Amino acid sequence: MVLVKVLGLIDLIGASCFLMLVFGVQPFFQLILFTSGLLLLKGMFIFTGDVLSVVDIFSAITLLLSIVFALPSLLLWMPAFLLFAKSFWSFI
């Protein structure tokens, strides 16, 4: 149970990074790299059959792309909502 809550916390931090980008607050470079790395590692659960790990991989790639490019707000809102939903269900 504790592992599920830790993984939900990673989703919550990732969603917070996306919301910071949406509202114009530039998160620390190290926070973006750390969070995207954790989401990418968490996305490797796709090999165990977890379909929602695609969201983690998509979010990690989007976070990495946001370092270099100014992404459209739709590409920032989508992973934010999906990660918030995943973290909500992890804490229940």
**At 1, is the pLDDT very low, low, confident or very high (cuts 50, 70, 90)?**
confident
Taking alpha carbons only, the member of 90, 2, 3, 71 closest to residue 32 is 71
CB–CB of 83/20 below 8 Å?
no
Tell me what percent of the residues of the chain surpass a pLDDT of 90. 80
Domain range summary for the chain, segments of one domain joined by +: 2-87
pLDDT at 65 over 90: yes
**Residue 17 token pair:** 């990074």
